[in-house]
Amino acid sequence: MLNYIIRRVLYAIPILIGVNLITFTLFFVVNTPDDMARMQLGIKRVTPEAIAKWKQERGYDKPLMFNSGDEGFTKLTNTIFFEKSAAMFAFRFGRADDGRDIAYEIKSRMVPSLAIALPVFLLGLGVYIVFALIMVFFRATYVDFWGVVLCVALMSISSLFYIIAGQFLISKLWHLVPISGYGQELDAAKFLVLPVIIGVISGAGANTRWYRTLFLEEMGKDYVRTARAKGLPESAVLFGHVLRNAMIPILTGAVVVIPLLFLGSLIAESFFGIPGLGSYTIDAINSQDFAVVRAMVFLGSLLYIVGLILTDISYTLVDPRIRLE
Amino acid sequence: MSFKPVILWTDALVYLLVAAVILFAWYVWRNEHLWAPWRRVGHSASGMAALTVLVFFVIIGLLDTVHLRPAVENDSGGETVYSVEVLSLFDVIATPLRTQVEKTYSAPFAAHLYARETIEHPGGGQTREFPRLKFGAAHLQNPEAQLATDIAWRAAAGGGLGLFFWCLIVASLTLLLAHRSGEAFLSMLSTIRRGATAIPWNAVCVTLALILVLCGAALTLCGSYHILGTDKVGQDVFYQSLKSIRTGLVIGTLTTLMMLPFALLLGITAGYFRGWVDDVIQYLYTTLSSIPGVLLIAAAVLMTQVYMETHPELFDTVASRADLRLLFLCIILGVTSWTGLCRLLRGETLKLREMEYIQAAHAFGVSHWRILSRHILPNVMHIVLITTVMDFSGLVLAEAVLSYVGVGVDPSTISFGTMINAARLEMARDPMVWWSLLAAFSFMFALVLSANLFADAVQNAFDPRVKTLSARVRALRRKRREEPEAKSSPTRTESSLPS
């Protein structure tokens, strides 16, 4: 088990290097640092000195991959690729264009992001499972039929609509909670209610339907027939047998997203004005702050890989048949 | 009017796609074993109704794809000069909609502008009031009194016209079916109505009636009203909504076109050759898929933006620039989304390569390339098809979100995303400007819902796993219907039913 985890962690390193290579190609090879400088400083009437200064401030005034001017090993290390990528692995993300330390920003913005993402995740999981169970309990009746219809309809609505409609109805028309903003500690709760509810609703269609399929698949297995043959009531079969077995794919499927919860949600956060990582990323995209976007890409992939490892571990925890070798 | 045809990049790809679809359809039609699952799609009522709506959207999208540059009239004779403005066939048809531009916002069916303006009266003095629209309800003398009746009359006339065409279509359909089956016209009509035909024509007809009546009413009304209002610069929202359809369709389909070569080639070769090829490809897609999708797309779009800003000489018109950006978005979405399909194809190929018929092909000395193309590829096509139709609706929805994030289509391209984005800024206005949002969301809903329903029908027909599942639920439902007392207490009978 421990061996396996260590191997997985080691296996993550080449993947992260690959991620770095991809982002590096995207950010520095497709467009040279000169192009980026010209873009940021305005296309026309840029003096070469201004470009050189811009590059020097950000540490882009070096060769991309190979520094032929240097001696020995520094030929490889004194380059943009090495400096920017190696720093990522040590969580030194450098400074954003407004001069703030990116690592500090990420640390302080994680909490508001989690404050939305975690309740949405937990509440959502509970609500979707309950709805899916209801539909499966009444399967092949009108409850089930209209439930599926509702799910497909919910799936077909843009997530932007849920946010805009929710803000309009609850905040603007009924004045129940503030439209957007964020407060300290307990004060934050009233700002979080609406985004959490909307987050749960916007995922309802697809997830409920998916869970229903999982439950139905489980219902067709032999042990369910055996349980019915024993004379167990349908509710006991459903809650005692089917639910427990269907929880394996549901839980392991959910584990992979847990680390990604730290990243928050891009759209909800910027609509509701919550100072989390999602809105940080959007602001960076809009102001074309390449350093921040690069840092977020790295962080995102790191968390995703952590999620994959956690998924493997959780398999062994919930399903004793699986052993990691 | 003389014009010069223009083929933008996405146009060319859409033509290619249409040609490919027609070829594929012809090929499937010729082979019974390929045609059989499609016949099952045809048996699904919701699937066929959704297909009707989709066909309607696709027609609008295709009309909007044929681009041209009209000639500019010049008196000097000489050679004709073509306008820099690139129009589509749809724009030409909808010329009144496109050119009847008001000053700023106006509500649906309004006769007056949405904002007060100071008006100078000819006799001296000025008042602040809502000025009349230049085009909306301009034919009415006294809009307050006449508006409602005029709208009702026009809508009724248009709806009636739509109904008339519907009757024609249904009659000819019934004639055709009656001719084929040898039934009498009236008995065929009642067969269709009861839904006893193999293909649920009744669902198709009902959907068609809905579309035609709505279209008829909209067409007669949109000449003299802004039926969905106007936006900030006074452009008709109905026109914008119809234009957005093409953008949505292009993103939904071309992205798939972009990702298919990657996914097919890499997925199948990884599963078939295994060994180091498999390792490399697995590493490649694990790396790509470990970057969160939106972030990768955002980074890539940012970089194409920089590239396009620094190379302005590549584009001769605004339209070609916007079009290229749309194409780049499709490519980026394609490159970032092939990993899922690739993984599925690899798994399926791993399973297939151990099958006896592949082993037999090996024993006969069939080349690798031939095994891949003749034996493996046809047997994974159902996965490709299902993924393609399932992804479509997600991509249409993603476009709106990406445009909101600021990494979507060019701001000058009319799309659901840009419409929502522009309208969102007016949320705080009181009274609220709601029609742009509502129009964009309802058109998007119609498109995505029909795509989802059609995708379900396709999945039901092609996916063996889902097929057994839904067959089981159907059997249970039939059993329920046969035992009326079962309905009153589902729990009791349920436990006695074998599943």
Q: Looking at residue B496, what is its pLDDT?
A: 35
The helix/strand/coil state of B2 is coil
The residue among B132 and A297 whose pLDDT is bigger is A297
**Mean pLDDT, range A250-266, rounded to an integer:** 85
Is B287 within 8 Å of A19 when comparing Cβ atoms? yes
Question: Would you say the C-alpha torsion B276, B280, B283, B285 has a positive or negative sign?
Answer: negative
CB count in 10 Å sphere of residue A143: 14
- Supply the DSSP symbol for B313: G
Is residue A325 domain-resident?
no
Q: Which residue has the tokens 């995505």?
A: B448
Asked if A289 and A220 sit in the same domain, the reply is yes
Asked if A67 and A181 sit in the same domain, the reply is no
Pairing relationship of beta strands B126-129 and B87-88 according to DSSP bridges: unpaired
Has residue B81 got a pLDDT over 80? Answer: no
d(CA B336, CA A293): 17
Residue ranges in A138-188 assigned as alpha helix (H): 142-155, 159-166
Q: What is the average pLDDT score of chain B?
A: 85
Asked if A235 and A124 sit in the same domain, the reply is yes
Provide the chain A residues 2-61 that lie in CB contact (below 8 A) with chain B.
Answer: 14-15, 18-19, 22-23, 26-27, 30-31, 35-36, 38-39, 43
Q: Please report how the helices A277-286 and B293-310 are oriented relative to each other, as an axis angle in degrees rounded to 10.
A: 10
Q: Which residue has the tokens 């027909």?
A: B461
Asked if A158 and A299 sit in the same domain, the reply is yes
What are the residues facing B230 on neighbouring strands? B106, B236
Nearest CA among B69, B80, B71 for reference residue B1: B71
Q: How many CB pairs under 8 A join A and B?
A: 163
Last residue of a domain, one of A90, A118, A147: A90
Q: What is the average pLDDT score of chain A?
A: 84
Q: Which of A285, A290, A294 to mutate to test the interface with B (most CBs of B within 10 A)?
A: A285
CB A234 within 8 A of CB A138: no
Q: What are phi and psi of B84, to 5 degrees?
A: -75, -15
Q: Say which range, A74-78, A92-96, A294-298, B380-384, has the weakest mean pLDDT.
A: A74-78
Is A140 within 8 Å of B393 when comparing Cβ atoms? no
- Reported as a pLDDT band with limits 50, 70 and 90, residue B75 is low
Is residue A98 domain-resident?
no
Q: Tell me which residue in B291, B397, B499 faces A19 most closely, judged by beta carbons.
A: B291
Is B491 within 8 Å of A213 when comparing Cβ atoms? no
CB A264 within 8 A of CB A270: no
d(CA B283, CA B288): 9
Asked if A11 and A64 sit in the same domain, the reply is yes
Is residue A179 domain-resident?
yes
Asked if A37 and A151 sit in the same domain, the reply is no
Asked if A62 and A151 sit in the same domain, the reply is no
Asked if A191 and A273 sit in the same domain, the reply is yes
The residue in chain A having the minimum alpha-carbon distance to the alpha carbon of residue B283 is: A15
CB B414 within 8 A of CB B439: no
Is B288 within 8 Å of A235 when comparing Cβ atoms? no
Query: B283 to chain A: which residues are within 8 Å by CB?
Result: 14-15, 18
Q: Which of B331, B432, B456, B494 to mutate to test the interface with A (most CBs of A within 10 A)?
A: B494
Q: Looking at residue B48, what is its pLDDT?
A: 92
CB B197 within 8 A of CB B180: no
CB count in 10 Å sphere of residue B490: 18
The residue among A248 and A322 whose pLDDT is bigger is A248
Print the domain residue range for A24: 2-90
Asked if A294 and A173 sit in the same domain, the reply is yes
Q: Which two tokens stand for residue A280?
A: 């940080």
Is residue A96 domain-resident?
no
Last residue of a domain, one of A27, A62, A90: A90
Asked if A199 and A302 sit in the same domain, the reply is yes
Task: Please give the ipTM for the structure prediction.
Answer: 0.86
Is residue A169 domain-resident?
yes
**Mean pLDDT, range B217-228, rounded to an integer:** 86
Is residue A324 domain-resident?
no
**Mean pLDDT, range B358-364, rounded to an integer:** 92
Is residue A323 domain-resident?
no
Chain B nearest-CA distance from A262, in A, is 12
Q: Looking at residue B495, what is its pLDDT?
A: 36
Asked if A83 and A174 sit in the same domain, the reply is no
Chain A nearest-CA distance from B482, in A, is 13
Provide the chain A residues 235-274 that lie in CB contact (below 8 A) with chain B.
Answer: 235, 237, 260, 263, 266-267
CB B217 within 8 A of CB B36: no
Number of domains in chain A: 2
Last residue of a domain, one of A25, A58, A90: A90
Q: In CATH, what number is assigned to the domain containing residue A277?
A: 1.10.3720.10
Asked if A142 and A269 sit in the same domain, the reply is yes
Q: Looking at residue B491, what is its pLDDT?
A: 39
Is residue A73 domain-resident?
yes
Is A140 within 8 Å of B476 when comparing Cβ atoms? yes
